[in-house]
Amino acid sequence: MSIEQQVRDYILENFLFTNDASVLANDASFLEKGIIDSTGVLEMIFFLEQEFALKVADKEMIPENLDSVNNIVRYVQSKQAGVVS
Amino acid sequence: MCGIAGIFAHDGGVPPQRVELERAIAALKHRGPDGHGFYTHGRIGLAHARLSIIDLAGGTQPIHNEDQSVWVVFNGEIFNYIELRAFLEGQGHRFYTHSDTEVLVHLYEHYGLDFVQHLNGQFAIALWDQNQQQLILCRDRVGILPLFYAEQNGRVLFASEIKALLPVLGRTPVLNPAALDQVMTFWSTLGDATLFEGVRQILPGQMLIAAEGGTRKQHYWEWRYPSDDDYHRTPVEQQAEELRALLSDATRIRLRADVPVGAYLSGGLDSAVLATLIRANGIQPETYSMRFSDAQLDEGVYQQCMVEHLGVQHHQVQCSAANIGREFPRAIWHTETPILRTAPVPMMMLSGLVHARGAKVVLTGEGADEVLGGYDIFKEAKLRRFWARQPKSLWRPLLLKRLYPYLEFNPARAQSYSEAFFGTGLDQPNAAFFAHLPRWNTTAQSKQFYSAEFKARLHTDPLALLEQSLPRDFAQWHAFNRSQYLEASVLMANYLLWSQGDRMLMANSVEGRFPFLDHRVIEFAARIHPNLKMKVLNEKYLLKRALKNELPASVIARSKQPYRAPDIPAFFHNGKALDYVDALLGADAVKRYGYFDAQKTGFLLKKIRAGRALGYKDNMALVAILSTQMWHHLFVENGPRP
| Between B473 and A62, the higher pLDDT residue | B473
Q: How many CB atoms neighbour CB A1 within 10 A?
A: 8
Q: What are B112-133's pLDDT values in tens digits?
A: 999 999 999 999 999 999 999 9
Overall average pLDDT of the B608-637 stretch: 94
User: Would you call A17 and B599 a contact, using CB atoms and an 8 Å cutoff?
Assistant: yes
For residues B381 and B533, the answer to whether their CB atoms sit within 8 Å is no
Give the pLDDT score at B391. 80
Q: Which of B222, B82, B159, B76 is nearest to B514 (CA)?
A: B76
For residues B526 and B223, the answer to whether their CB atoms sit within 8 Å is yes
Q: What three-state secondary structure class fits B77?
A: strand
H-run or E-run covering B229: none
C-alpha distances out from residue B249 to B197, B199, B550, B629, Å: 42, 37, 16, 44
Give the pLDDT score at B426. 81
Q: Which of B413, B448, B606 sits opposite A13 (nearest CB)?
A: B606
Q: Which alpha helices (DSSP H) does B292-367 contain, by range?
A: 300-310, 321-335, 344-356
Overall average pLDDT of the B368-385 stretch: 91
User: Would you call B418 and A38 a contact, using CB atoms and an 8 Å cutoff?
Assistant: yes
DSSP secondary structure code for residue B538 in this structure: B
Instruction: Using a pLDDT cut of 90, give the percent of chain B over it.
Output: 80
For residues B202 and B194, the answer to whether their CB atoms sit within 8 Å is no
Q: What are B424-444's pLDDT values in tens digits?
A: 778 888 889 999 998 999 899
B409 touches chain A (CB under 8 A): yes
Measured CA to CA, the distance from residue B261 to residue B275 in angstroms comes to 11
Give the pLDDT score at A85. 47
Q: Is B35 left (phi over 0), alpha (psi -120 to 50) or beta?
A: left
Cα B633 from chain centroid (whole Å)? 24
Overall average pLDDT of the B392-419 stretch: 67
For residues B114 and B156, the answer to whether their CB atoms sit within 8 Å is no
Amino acid letter, B585: L
Q: Which of B76, B79, B77, B74 is nearest to B62 (CA)?
A: B74
With a cut of 60, say whether residue B420 has pLDDT above it: yes
| Between A76 and B33, the higher pLDDT residue | A76
Q: Which of A39, A50, A59, A65 to mutate: most B Cβ within 10 Å?
A: A39
Q: Which of B420, B445, B599 sits opposite A18 (nearest CB)?
A: B599
Measured CA to CA, the distance from residue B512 to residue B57 in angstroms comes to 22
Q: What are B82-114's pLDDT values in tens digits?
A: 999 999 999 999 999 999 999 999 999 999 999
Phi, psi of B87 (to 5 degrees): -60, -45
Determine if the peptide bond prior to B62 is cis (ω within 30°).
Answer: yes
User: Would you call A62 and B416 a contact, using CB atoms and an 8 Å cutoff?
Assistant: yes
Strand order in the sheet with B70-78: B63-64, B70-78, B121-129, B134-139, B206-211, B214-219
For chain A, give the number of residues.
Answer: 85
With a cut of 50, say whether residue B154 has pLDDT above it: yes
Q: Which residues is B50 bridged to in the sheet?
A: B2
With a cut of 70, say whether residue B412 has pLDDT above it: no
- Determine which of A29-33, B225-229, B301-305 has the lowest per-residue pLDDT on average: A29-33
Q: What is the mean pLDDT of chain B?
A: 93
Instruction: Using a pLDDT cut of 70, give the percent of chain B over it.
Output: 96
Give the pLDDT score at B642. 36
Chain A residues within an 8 Å CB radius of B420:
31, 37-38
Q: Which residue of A has its CA nearest to B422?
A: A38
Q: What are B521-555's pLDDT values in tens digits?
A: 999 999 999 999 999 889 999 999 999 999 998 88
Give the pLDDT score at B438. 87
For residues B288 and B350, the answer to whether their CB atoms sit within 8 Å is yes
Q: What is the pTM of this model?
A: 0.94
Q: Which of B256, B264, B283 is nearest to B362 (CA)?
A: B264
Give the pLDDT score at B641. 43
- Determine which of A45-49, B367-371, B611-615 has the lowest per-residue pLDDT on average: B611-615
With a cut of 60, say whether residue B385 has pLDDT above it: yes
So what's the ipTM on this one? 0.86
In this prediction, residue B409 has a pLDDT band, given cuts at 50, 70 and 90, of low
Q: What are B71-81's pLDDT values in tens digits?
A: 999 999 999 99
Q: Torsion over CA of B205, B187, B523 and B277, rounded to 10 degrees?
A: 110
